[in-house]
Structure formats: C-alpha cells, structure tokens
Chains A and B, each alone.
Chain A
C-alpha cells in the first residue's frame, strides 16, 4: 500500500535549538509505525510539527498526497490527522462527555458521530460510567483512555500517539497496547511514539529510531527488536 504520510527533510527548532534536523520517514496506509529514540531526540517535536502546533523550519509533509506543512492545526485535524499529545491534553474542567463531544468538533455527520461515540464507550466502558464526571477527576489511566477515545471521535485516518503508556501501571500499559492494535485493525493508521520500546515494536509493522533529530535506523518491528543498537540502547534494561 502507498504511504499515507511522507515526511522529507523535516527541520524543527526552538530559537537556537535544533530539535529535528532533516528527518525523512513515511507511514504506509493501514500500518502501525513505532518511533523510538532517547529523551530529547525530537520525537514530540516531530509529531507537533505534523499537527502544525509547532512550525517546521523546512521540509515537506505529504499527508494523503497533499502538502500540509504550513496548514493551520484545525485544518490538519479536519483532513484526518489527529494527535494525542504527550501529557494527554484533556480539558480537565469539562466533563468526560463534553471532552468526547469536542473530539468530533470538525465533523458534520451527526449520525456517524453518535455511532462512533457508542464504539468508544464500548472500547472504554469506564468512560461511559464516568461520563458526567469532570475529566480532571479521572485517574491517569482513565485520562489516557479519554484522550484516545476523544481522538477516535475525530474519525482519524492517521492517529499520532505520543507516549500513551507514560505513567501507567504495567497492567494498564498492556491493555493500552492491545487497544492500539485494535484501533489499527479497524482501519486507522497509527504513528506511535513510545518509551516502552519492546512492546511498541512488538505491535508495530515498522519501526524508526531517532537520534539527535535524525533518522538512525528503520526496519520492520521484528528486525528492530533484534537489532544490536536497539537492544543496547532501548531494550537493555527491560526484561523478557
């Protein structure tokens, strides 16, 4: 299948800091691509540039064949590129239901939204139980479910997830990865940034490794799981 996302020569910086320094990669339609890299490698900066939250300095971002670099963030969401950012960015004073409702902000097809809401509640029954509660009163795991559920309501073609397992207990981490797999199986392409390199690569079709704002390695998920550099740098301390 063709590439849904094609990034070429992407550069992102903050003042004098160059966070991403000429990055090329692509995400084929219908796959899960996992991006790993040390702290500060430029993973979040890349995702924020894809969403238009941070302005890229140069390069090209083709999404479904269309140049989106320089587009307004709301337009990018409207095209189907949706992100759950690091730290989740839920709207804590608003209720769970209101958060989910805002997830479908760019959509006009009310009936399809209602059906998707049922699916999200099916995927995360906890959210249904707590729909009237303020989002800020949810536990960390529930907030992550809310953030993912809310992103799904935008009906994404490409879902960007920035460290969805951060701060979650091991059992929850496993269930988040299962959910991500299910999301991909239902037809949404996923670009996943993770610190839990082993589990993230296990569910991935392809993996890319970032180092100092550049592409260090890429390959299939299983290739990277056995790669010496990856083993030493990212999988060393994890057991099994």
Chain B
C-alpha cells in the first residue's frame, strides 16, 4: 500500500540525499560587495528551501540571515528569488528544483542583509491605494456591514494576498516607474473596488484615483505577477477589469 502511494506521488530521486545551494550573501558591516556562497547539505523528504536555509544557519554558518515566520505560506515574509523565479522559500520543495539551487533576495528591492530586503517601498505602494474599508454611509446602529455571498465571490482570490512582494518584484513597470503601485497594490485596490458595501461614491473615487498613465494604464500584461503569485492570485486580471471599467465609465453609451 505504502509503495503504491509512493509511486503515485512520484517522489523524485533526490528526496533524500544531498543538495547544493548557491546563496547570495551580503553583510553590510563586513562586505563591500555581495558575493555568492555555496553550501552542501543533507536533505530529507519534504524539505523546503526554507528548511535548507535554516539547516545551513544552524549547522554551517550562523551569520546567514533569512526572514521567516510561519513556515506555511501564510505570513509572506520569506519571498526570495529561487532559480530565477520569485517564490516563497517555505513553499518550495528542494526536491523539485534543479541543482545547484540559486537563492537570491527579491530582485529590485534593496538588500539589507543576505536574503532580507527592504520592504518599506513595497508597503508605501500598498498604502497608496488606500487599502482600508471606506463605506459611503455607516449602517444603522447595531447593524453589521453585511456582504452578500455573491459579492464576496468576486474577491475570494485577491483576499488571499499575503503581502510577500513576489509579484511587485517580478513586474518590470513597477521597477522602472516608482509611481506605479504595482500588481499587489492594484489587486488590493481591486479587493475594495469590488466590495459593494463601500457604495457607488467610493467606488468612483477609487477608480479615479487609480486612473493615470502611472496607475492602471501602466500594466503591460506581462503576466509575471500571475505566474509568481504563491497564492494563485491574478493581479493582471484585476487590473484589466478595472481599466476596462474605467474606460467604460468614460464611454457611457457603451453600457
């Protein structure tokens, strides 16, 4: 029984054995320039890249710094650049990667130390779309802000965002245009834009706020954000829907 299950999951041969990791290292107090260090570790079945990094830190080099917390793809603090793609270290199996595994901090963010990047810029972008609930009218006293299940369906996926920054790191217009909120922030804006409890006024205002050539119209449909999102969100789709609505709003006869 156990063997059939094993084959069904088609565990690669490297499930247990050795793995080689090329890790980006930069300690501002010691290094002028970043460099790459190679570590070899013993792997175990189900080992994630985060496990591997922690193992390196525990057993080989205690100065290696990586930000992490939940280890279950929930907090979004350990997005790194693994083998040329933005991924969550805790959500990536060592066994499914080609060796040596290249681990770098998120591209286009400033590096504070090793794999830890400065996220303030990202949080500023998130804040620029006012990601908080702003209803037109307060409900009658004692009532709750009730959302209809149908309306909730629209934002099911975008609500899963964990602010890891992978998508914004993968988006080239976000990198070259600092006024562009980037995919994560625009998906967040979509979450409120679609929430009918906010009312028509706020919806209009939100759309106007985003409508600029450095806003929703800056998206080039590269789909990088959709590809890298560990939560399966498609910011591209959200942005396209908002820009479509914004233009529709202009062409009233179209509706």
Check if A and B associate: no
